[in-house]
Structure 1
Amino acid sequence: MSADRYRAAGWWRPERVDDLVLRHAEALADRCAIVQEQRRMTYRQLTVAVDSTAARLRLLGLRAPEPVLLQLPNSIELLVLALALMRAGCPPVLAMPTLRGHELSPVIATLRPAALAVPPRSRAFDHTEMARRLIGEHDCVRTLLAWEDLHALCAPGHGEAARVHTPHPQDIALHLLSSGTTGPPKGIPRTHEAFTSVIRAASEVSALDRDSVYLAAIPVTHSFAFGHPGVLGTLAGGGRVVLARSADPAHCLDLVERERVTHCALVPGLAAQWLTELRDHPRDVSSLRVLQVGGAQLDPAAARRLATGLDCAVQQVYGMSEGLLCFTRLDDPDDLAATTQGRPAAPGDELRVVDHAGRTAPPGTVGELWTRGPSTITAYAADVRPPEAFGPGGFYRTGDLVRLDDACNVTVVGRVKDVINRSGEKIPAGDLEALLLRHPAVCAAAVVAMPHPLHGEAVCAVVVASGSGDDVPRLRELRDFLRAQGIAPFKLPDRVEVVAALPVTGVGKVDKARLRRTVAALVAAGRPDPAGQTAGGQESPSSSRSAAAGVSS
């Protein structure tokens, strides 16, 4: 279906994201819109701050349609700046704070943002130093919006600021970033009319309204917490947003109790930690109505434990920044809500399950999910259409293996490509293998997923050493090397196995299935990491050569 048909059907409306989110500025002027620690901002203050910030951005020399990359922590400044940029016609590019130069440099080269906004320096990493290096590499970036300057930039002004720009609903409102499953993240352009349709549909199936209190526990620069329906859906419904400084379960549950939170979105590992924290330190979480869980597959037994332990509806969510969003419905039968990842939230979204040859798979069988419709993009930024991403007829190829029931409920069973899903963060094995091969002590490498009780999957690097004897690469050494290559910390290996040779299939390819089975067996047996230490653990006395025999046998 064409864009004109989406508009004719009423799925795409002539509205802008900032106007949809701030539509309650008069009716709910003095009502609290955002809470961050001890700071509170009303709807009137939020609207004035957005208009004032848009005017200040113009004074800084930013002009529509120049993008601005935002890599900020959960904060009032992040929300005000993102909305002000949309209002000024300068699409924000939402980047997770965990991304590093290796991931951000290709994004900057493609989207050519005029400015970067980065978090404060921490003990773990100096984002400002990284930003300065990136600015030196890319001449498009003229301005660094340092954290210490953002409070003044995003403060409400005195008096009403004149609107500096009026974007068209068909203009790009923002850029999300792909999960990078096939290489560096790609820019995902979302127009105002398309993104508002996603916000409205997701908000409706999540039952967000003026009485809702949404806890942003995961980073707001992730589409799940930003507008699927997230903080934008909550504000568009007239509810209240509570910003958590981190995803720490104790901190988040304190906020649930204090602010009487009704809605929250988590990945499965964090949701499990909530139950453990509540068991050890009980709190009053009776206000919680809906816990949304997505980013990775939720085990049916875990879904039932969450629903019982938190005494709320557990709403499974499956989707992607590229557009499609599936939700279990709040009135679904318990078994359906626990065992599927739901069905499309938006009318007009089409699902197709295909076999390896691109033919429609028989009903009820497993195949790759293809999708198209008003929620889903038809190209990445700069009209990039990787052949592996889009199929005939404008379908987006998700890369996920699924099964559909008669009502179009999706059950995700795996991935087509070699990707590790660590707490919802997608890690392409090939990208990490290429970086490992740069290490002088590594002559061959294979990266596979291994089971992890918290993250679902963790990263195991299986390497062949260039040297001999005890001269083998250790985990700490490889992690330090990869950090120096500028990769995001969630991609770092959690375990290293050193082998004499990588197992291969009959056609000479690395036998990843065999490696995954063997590594899983080692983890299940409780065998320590033989190539140094597990991440955060102690040195292991195990022989690296015994590990080689164990994995490659």
Structure 2
Amino acid sequence: MSATWSNNHRPADVAAYVESGAWPNLTLADYLDAAMRADPDRTLFWETTRRWTVRDIHDSAHALASALNHLGVRRGDVISFQLPNWCEAVIIDCAAAIGGFVNNPIVLIYRDAELRQILPDCQSKVIFIPESYRGFDFRAMAERVRADAPSLQHLVTVRGDGALTLESLIALGKERPLKQERTDPNRPKLIMYTSGTTGRAKGVVHCHNAIHCDLSAHQRFWKLTEHDRSFVTGPVGHMSGYLYACNGPLQWRIDCAVVERWNVDEAADLIDNLGLTFTVGATPFLQDLVALSRQTGRKFETLRLFACGGAPVPPEIIRSVYRTLPNTVSYRCYGSTEAPTTTLGVSDPSDIDACALTDGEIFNNYVKVVDDDGRTLAAGCEGEILIRGPECMMGYSRDEDNAAAFDEDGYWRSGDLGVLDARQRVTVTGRKKDLIIRGGENLSAKEIEDAMHTHPAIRQASVVAAPHPRMGESVYAFIVCQEGATIDLPELSAFLTKAGLAKQKIPEAYELVTDLPMTPFGKVKKNVLRDRLAEKIRS
């Protein structure tokens, strides 16, 4: 049975988006067919050792959509993939658009604990996985969690052996092609999970129109043309990698190079050898490129834009780009899984202060900053950032998550604190949500704490964000042990790994304390813990 979710797009807004042309009323299948008509033999995707033409993607995606139909997958059903940055993710996403399936990309580093939440929640029927990758057995993990995901009918191996492989499905679809009805662009296209303060992953649902509206805004703001070549470093299971690898190249008709894992020397060679012109990446990647340029004198002359987001971006990093890479513009962007790109940078990149100190100009979205009572604040006043517009999500997969997520005017409550200036530039100042953002990934403090509390030596635990020179933030734990017990970091890491937590959620440092500061209502005063950690770092 297909999953059904609430739609928080108000009918009047939908009508306005369509009438104004903000929503293109096209799906990825339409963009794929248009690219096929224009230049079927164009090499569109570049991996380190492989090249993929428009025809490769088109023929494989249509065959896969037919094969999935033969397996019993129907319109509105969810299919999942958990893959490295391989072009097969693009084929799967295109097949989903062709067949009317809802795609569920999953971050590659997620393990049993996360999959046991995600797969049953979205009622996924199929998951595409590598047989094994970098020493981890993905097929064994999928078999383990299958018992907790009753809707999951098929495990499909990509670039490996198994009872059912992507290659065999494509072959089946080519032998038994089916005519497909056109997918309604207002229907759900994507469900992607993001951690929240509740400790349970929340499914974010987007329609086709919202995703392609977002990418149209990129094209206008960044002035992208068919002569550009993009470079994707973000994982395809994350919103940035999904947008810029799976969807952007076909919509923009721009060649795209994808890398499985960041290596600054390999990245530099790709930029120079392929003439790559723009990328969107996390702070550590930009830092690495600038450092390499300083060491070697390489200027990456074709790279005209590096938009930076995810982890916090120190102003000095942006300023260093302008001093080191004369042909490259860089600025901060602000977005989320729920509202992917609320800002796309600064329209006047010669204003280096704006590029370095703000998170960019509002573009193609409506934003207001409100106080705790929901009153809109004047420019320059700090409050919670609320967002509405044609790029925003339809809603969360669970109704209980939607209840407090939107205000009476349809604005989504981001949980982020910030200020909006007179020129409609946003500066994010903090978070109301208790999240740790490590390398652009949202980590739920409560989920980590809940796992720690299952250790017999731990009486109380609280985790906060610690500054990290490369990843932006890391997990720092305060632990109160049971009387007469103790614990060290290796033991804690081994325990949490066995419990199924992904590596990035495991504390990298900790402190044993006799008690935790509490409110009269029994809640941990995390502001006190953050201040204590900051003082420890300063001293």
Which TM-score applies when normalising by structure 2?
0.91
Equivalent positions of 1:248-397 (< 5 A) are 248-281=263-296, 283=298, 285-311=300-326, 312-325=328-341, 326-332=343-349, 333-346=351-364, 349-397=365-413
Q: CA deviation at 1:210?
A: 0.8
Do the aligned partners of residues 335 and 155 (structure 1) sit closer, same or farther apart at CA in structure 2, a change above 3 Å counting? farther
C-alpha distance in structure 2 between counterparts of 1:198 and 1:19, whole Å: 16
Which one of 516, 531, 542 corresponds to residue 530 of structure 2? Answer: 516
With over 3 angstroms needed to count, the CA separation of the structure-2 counterparts of 1:302 and 1:134, relative to structure 1, is: same
Counterpart-to-counterpart distance in 2, 1:509 and 1:93: 35
The corresponding residue for 1:473 is: 487
Give the equivalent residue in structure 2 for 1:131.
142
Amino acid at match of 1:266: G
Give me the whole-angstrom Cα distance separating, in 1, the residues matched to 2:175 and 2:69: 17
Change (3 A) 1:158 1:380: closer
Aligned to 2:6: none
The change in CA–CA distance for 1:315 and 1:24 in structure 2 (over 3 A counts) is farther
Structure 2 CA distance for partners of 1:277 and 1:179, relative to 1, 3 Å = farther
- Structural mapping, 1:495-514, within 5 Å: 495-504=509-518, 509-514=523-528
SS in structure 2 opposite 1:2?
Answer: helix
Q: CA deviation at 1:324?
A: 4.9
Q: Distance in 1 between matches of 2:317 and 2:173?
A: 48
The superposition leaves residues 201-251 of structure 1 with CA deviations (integer Å, 9 ceiling, x where unpaired) of 122212222111111111122111222x55522321211011102122222
Q: Deviations over 1:93-140 (max 9, x none)?
A: 011111122222222222101011123323553221111112111210
Counterpart mapping for 1:433-448 below 5 A: 433-448=449-464
Aligned 8 A contact 2:28 2:251 in 1: no
1:80-479 equivalences under 5 Å are 80-147=91-158, 148=160, 149-153=165-169, 161-227=177-243, 229=244, 231-281=246-296, 283=298, 285-311=300-326, 312-325=328-341, 326-332=343-349, 333-346=351-364, 349-468=365-484, 471-479=485-493
SS where residue 114 of structure 1 aligns? strand
The answer on whether the counterparts of 2:126 and 2:154 sit within 8 Å (CA) in structure 1 is yes
Amino acid in the other structure paired with 2:503: P
Instruction: Give the CA deviation at 1:408.
Output: 1.4
- CA separation of 1:336/1:166 partners in 2, compared to 1, >3 Å: closer, same or farther? same
Per the TM alignment, residue 384 of structure 1 is displaced from its structure 2 partner at its CA by 4.8
**Aligned to 1:493, which of 498, 507, 526?**
507
Letter in 2 for 1:285: F
CA offset at residue 366 of structure 1? 0.5
Instruction: State the shift of 1:287 in Å.
Output: 1.1
Distance 2:438 2:239 in 1: 17
CA contact (8 A) 1:51 1:163 kept: no
Secondary structure, counterpart of 2:124 in structure 1: coil
Instruction: Please list the CA deviations of residues 242-274 of structure 1 after superposition, one character each: whole Å capped at 9, or x if unmatched.
Output: 110212222222221222111111111222122
- 2:84 aligns to what? 73
Instruction: Check whether the contact 1:460–1:495 (CA below 8 A) recurs between aligned residues.
Output: yes
Q: Please give the per-residue CA displacement for 1:59-115, whole angstroms capped at 9, x wherever unaligned.
A: 333222211111111011111111112211111101111112222222222210101
Quote how far apart the aligned CAs of 1:438 are: 0.8
Separation in 1, partners of 2:45, 2:172: 14
| Shift in Å, 1:285 | 1.6
SS in 2 for 1:361: coil
Change (3 A) 1:155 1:270: farther
- Hey, what's the Cα distance between the residues in 2 that align with 1:114 and 1:156? 18
Secondary structure of the residue aligned to 1:256 is helix
Equivalent residue for 1:534?
Answer: none
User: Could you tell me how far apart the structure 1 residues matched to 2:170 and 2:423 are?
Assistant: 46
Once the two structures are superposed, residues 441-466 of structure 1 have per-residue CA deviations (whole angstroms, 9 ceiling, x without a partner) of: 00011111112111221111110111
Distance 1:13 1:181, change over 3 A: same
Confirm or deny: 8 A CA contact 2:47 2:258 kept in the other structure.
yes
SS in 1 for 2:132: coil
- CA deviation vs aligned residue, 1:7-46 (integer Å, no higher than 9, x gap): 1222223211221244221222222111112211122222
C-alpha RMSD over aligned residues:
2.3
Structure 2 match to 1:544: none
2: CA distance between counterparts of 1:86 and 1:125? 30
Deviations 1:176-223 (A, max 9, x none): 222434422222222122222112112221222211111111112211
Cα pair 2:299 2:325 within 8 Å, conserved = no
The answer to whether 1:62 aligns with 2:73 is yes
- RCO comparison, higher one (Cα < 8 Å, 6+): 2
In the alignment, what sits opposite 1:535? none
Amino acid at match of 2:200: P
Q: 1:487-537, CA deviations, whole angstroms, 9 ceiling, x for partnerless residues? A: 222111010111111233576643322222322333444xxxxxxxxxxxx
Query: CA contact under 8 A between 2:380 and 2:419: conserved in structure 1?
Result: yes
What SS does the corresponding residue of 1:205 show, helix, strand or coil?
A: helix
C-alpha separation in 2, matches of 1:9 and 1:123: 47
Amino acid at match of 1:355: D
| Shift in alpha-carbon separation, 1:103–1:184, aligned structure 2, 3 A | farther
Contact 1:33 1:46 in 2 (8 A): no
**1:293/1:316 contact within 8 Å kept:** yes
Contact 1:341 1:412 in 2 (8 A): yes
TM-aligned CA distance change 1:491 to 1:428, over 3 Å: same
Report the count of equivalent residues.
Answer: 520
